[in-house]
Amino acid sequence: AQSVSQHNHHVILSEAASLELGCNYSYGGTVNLFWYVQYPGQHLQLLLKYFSGDPLVKGIKGFEAEFIKSKFSFNLRKPSVQWSDTAEYFCAARTGAGSYQLTFGKGTKLSVIP
């Protein structure tokens, strides 16, 4: 069965620090990849997604992610975090062969200290 691993449970950063959250998936075939964010008290929102093409994907609020097929990874990055980025971040994967199911990682909680 497909699985998604997020290596960091809780990350604490100071404002202006750079962010990289790790995500690895286990499926060997075509895969669609997503990063979602859940701000405190808010809906789960889509940050960015990768289906095909340029492996460097840009999303909202200055986030980007790089798909590295050889490493089965889809890490999320932001060069300079703000206090408002405090949230929980979820990586998700869907196999590309007509599947509807998303498999989520366990999430990474990001706390940004002003």
Partner 1 sequence: DGGITQSPKYLFRKEGQNVTLSCEQNLNHDAMYWYRQDPGQGLRLIYYSQIVNDFQKGDIAEGYSVSREKKESFPLTVTSAQKNPTAFYLCASGGQVSRETQYFGPGTRLLVL
Looking up tokens 């093409």 gives 53
Which residue's CB is nearer to partner 1, number 24 or number 103?
103
Which residue's CB is nearer to partner 1, number 19 or number 108?
108
Q: Which of 33, 75, 87, 105 binds partner 1 (CB under 8 A)?
A: 105
Which residue's CB is nearer to partner 1, number 52 or number 70?
52
Count the residues of the shown chain that bind partner 1, applying the rule CB under 8 A.
26
Nearest distance from residue 3's CB to partner 1, in Å? 11
Residues making up the chain, counted from first to last: 114
What mask of x and - would describe binding to partner 1 in positions 25 to 64, judged by CB under 8 A?
-------x-x-x------xxxx--x-x-------------
8: number of Cβ within 10 Å: 14
The Cα–Cα gap between 110 and 89 comes to 7
The Cα–Cα gap between 88 and 44 comes to 9
76-95 residues in contact with partner 1 (CB under 8 A) are 90, 92, 94
DSSP string, 38-98: E-TTS-EEEEEEE-SS-SEEE-GGG-EEEEEGGGTEEEEEESS--GGG-EEEEEEEEETTT
Q: In the complex, which residues of this chain contact partner 1 (CB under 8 A)? A: 4, 6, 9, 32, 34, 36, 43-46, 49, 51, 90, 92, 94, 96, 98-107
